[in-house]
Structure 1
Amino acid sequence: TSQAFADHLASYGIRPSVGRTGVCWDNAWAESFNATLKNERVYRMVYPTRDKAIRDVAAWIELTYNQRRLHSGIGYRTPNQFERELQQAATPKAA
């Protein structure tokens, strides 16, 4: 059930992103990602099987969206680059 899932997330200290039904602005970042995925990849492909679609979308996210696509919201860097910079900033420097 959804309550069991919410409890499972809470046990790991994860707070789910939940918006109001029918209000796309509550989850704008996810809506934007899904639009990008559809427009830049899915609508341009013909998938012979569901498995091929799943594999292609996963590869596109990992290889293109995360490694090559620049994002204005994070200073025109890739998500992987931004994550590395955050990790480096959070890592204590050796004295």
Structure 2
Amino acid sequence: MQASMSRKGNCYDNAPIESFWGTLKTELVYSRRFATREQARQAITEYIELFSNRQRIQARLDYLSPAAYTARYFSEKIAA
């Protein structure tokens, strides 16, 4: 695994994804044991696609899920 690096002079550009990986590990990976890599891959994919993107609300997105925020953005863009 390669170390996470930010752009020169910007120590914060990786902060959102680093936060996401920390949350994923805390909520999913550390609480389960996977028999195979395939089971781990499937569980992580489901976590991201079904829970994190569609259900989990986020304060920085006006307390909407990423999917709802994206839908709102495009509906406002089309209406304009």
Same fold (TM over 0.5): yes
Aligned-residue Cα RMSD (Å) equals 2.1
Which stretches of structure 1, 4 residues or longer, exceed 6 Å deviation after superposition?
A: none
Identity of aligned residues (%): 32
Q: TM-score, normalised to structure 2's length?
A: 0.82
Structure 2 unmatched ranges of 5 or more: none
Contact 1:66 1:80 in 2 (8 A): yes
5 Å-filtered alignment, 1:73-84, equals 73-84=60-71
5 Å-filtered alignment, 1:10-89, equals 19-20=6-7, 25-89=12-76
Count of aligned pairs = 75
Richer in helix (by share):
1
**Higher Rg of the two aligned structures:** 1
Question: Relative contact order: is structure 1 or structure 2 higher (C-alpha 8 Å, sep ≥ 6)?
Answer: 2
Structure 1 unmatched ranges of 5 or more: 1-17
Q: TM-score, normalised to structure 1's length?
A: 0.70
